[in-house]
Amino acid sequence: MVVTTLGSGTNRCVPDVNLAFSKLEPRGILRGFNYSEAPSLDGLFRHFQGITRLGREDATWLAVSRSGSPNAVALVGPSGIVAEIEAPSGLTHAGGIQALGSILAVPYEHKQGQSRVMLYDVADPTRPRILYELDRSDVPAPSAPGHASAVALARLADGRLLMIVGVRSSKVLDIYVSNQADLSAPGLAFVRVGTLENAIDGKFQSQNLVTQCDGALFLVGAYNSGFPAPRMGADRVRWYRLDSAWDGGVMLTEAGNRKVKCRRCNFGAAAGVFVTGEGQLVLYAIEHGSGSSRTITYEEFRARSSQPTVPTGG
């Protein structure tokens, strides 16, 4: 498999991934949203597992995933929660998520021997709909059919989708490629083309695929060194370049890592990378549990040169 991607017309791209991460402010902008209309987000044993920004420029639109709730994903607009997505029966743990344009990928686990990845169309965040369901009940060792802790998504040069599913905090990575570019066409399937074990350093709570404008593709993982959350260690992000291996598979080469400082967020809960239309890399992270006054706080880490003076959006 050739690991190259299309340009910004398909995957928004960053001119230099290493430089983009090095320029991020060590502290983020505090933001938040109210969840009074979504009681499913509340609860002592429910906490956040994923955050991703949707590919819209009119405002900050987010998807957040949560464990322990039948409504496992909430879609958040500038005025608050606009829709919730129900988890598949018995799979109440929605993990690390990623949006690619109007496609939202969500992994689910916590049913004996079963895990799935769902792709949703969120072009209209108020009316999400299912595009595809990946059943992982047949994955062999060293993977595990009952585990899917995080998912990353990108398009390849021929338009097909690359999906990487993290197992047990991404210590195992299952690599899938779609058999066609059009997710609405009949016969869509994702084929597992490889599995990597112990390819990353750190127990990723969230993972994203990011495209560099020269076509290079990077797997970005976020985690807290005090794993498991809510232990308070260091909030870290690592990124790996994907290349084609000699046997036609995929190999990862670590390209960089850095630490940021959360005030309210915790990378052991959720973090996610977003690329703006101008090619700026933005990092999002959310607090572990529910905040006070039915308000959830998340933080936005931007580059020093692009830090806005007045917070905008959600």
Instruction: Please report where in the chains the tokens 């995080």 appear, as a residue.
Output: 150
Pick the range with the lowest mean pLDDT from 27-36, 62-71, 77-86, 304-313.
304-313
Position 161 scores a pLDDT of 94
As given in the structure block, the two tokens for residue 115 are 């895990």
Q: Tell me whether residue 140 is exposed, middle or buried, using C-beta atoms within 10 angstroms of its C-beta: 0 to 12, 13 to 18, 19 or more.
A: exposed
Query: What percent of the chain shows pLDDT beyond 90?
Result: 65
Give the span between the Cα atoms of 300 and 312, in whole angstroms.
11
Residue 26 confidence (pLDDT) above 80: yes
User: Which residues, other chains included, contact 101 with Cβ-Cβ below 8 Å and sequence gap of 6+?
Assistant: 55
**Contact indicator for 294, 229 with CB cutoff of 8 Å:** no
Find the mean pLDDT for residues 115-127.
95
Position 230 scores a pLDDT of 57
Give the span between the Cα atoms of 124 and 82, in whole angstroms.
10
Residue closest to 30 by CA, chosen among 291, 305, 293, 286: 286
Look over the chain and give the mean of its residue pLDDT values, rounded to a whole number: 86
Residue 156 confidence (pLDDT) above 50: yes
More confident residue, 38 or 181: 181
The structural domains of the chain, with segments of one domain joined by +, span 13-306
Find the mean pLDDT for residues 186-207.
92
More confident residue, 43 or 7: 43
This prediction has a pTM of 0.91
Give the span between the Cα atoms of 226 and 267, in whole angstroms.
10
Q: What does the chain come to in residues?
A: 314
Please, what is the Cα angle at 140 between 139 and 142, to 5 degrees? Answer: 115
Find the mean pLDDT for residues 22-46.
78
Give the span between the Cα atoms of 222 and 290, in whole angstroms.
20
Instruction: Please report where in the chains the tokens 């190999």 appear, as a residue.
Output: 251
Position 194 scores a pLDDT of 92
Residue 6 confidence (pLDDT) above 80: no
Query: 293 falls in which pLDDT band (50, 70, 90)?
Result: low
Contacts within 8 Å (CB) and 24+ apart, 300-305: 300/28, 300/29, 300/31, 300/60, 301/24, 301/25, 301/27, 301/28, 301/29, 301/260, 302/24, 302/25, 302/28, 302/29, 303/20, 303/23, 303/24, 303/25, 304/23, 304/24, 304/25, 305/23
Give the span between the Cα atoms of 238 and 46, in whole angstroms.
27
Q: How many CA atoms lie within 13 A of 256 on its CB side?
A: 11
Residue 191 confidence (pLDDT) above 90: yes
Give the span between the Cα atoms of 175 and 170, in whole angstroms.
12
Give the span between the Cα atoms of 234 and 294, in whole angstroms.
27
More confident residue, 306 or 51: 51
Residue 46 confidence (pLDDT) above 90: no
Find the mean pLDDT for residues 108-134.
92
Query: 312 falls in which pLDDT band (50, 70, 90)?
Result: very low
More confident residue, 142 or 184: 142
Give the span between the Cα atoms of 45 and 47, in whole angstroms.
7
C-alpha 101, offset from chain centre = 13
Residue 226 confidence (pLDDT) above 90: no
Query: 48 falls in which pLDDT band (50, 70, 90)?
Result: confident
Which CATH entry fits the domain spanning 13-306: 3.30.70, 2.115.10, 1.10.3470, 3.40.50? 2.115.10
* Dihedral (CA of 89, 195, 152, 119) sign: negative
**Contact indicator for 60, 78 with CB cutoff of 8 Å:** yes
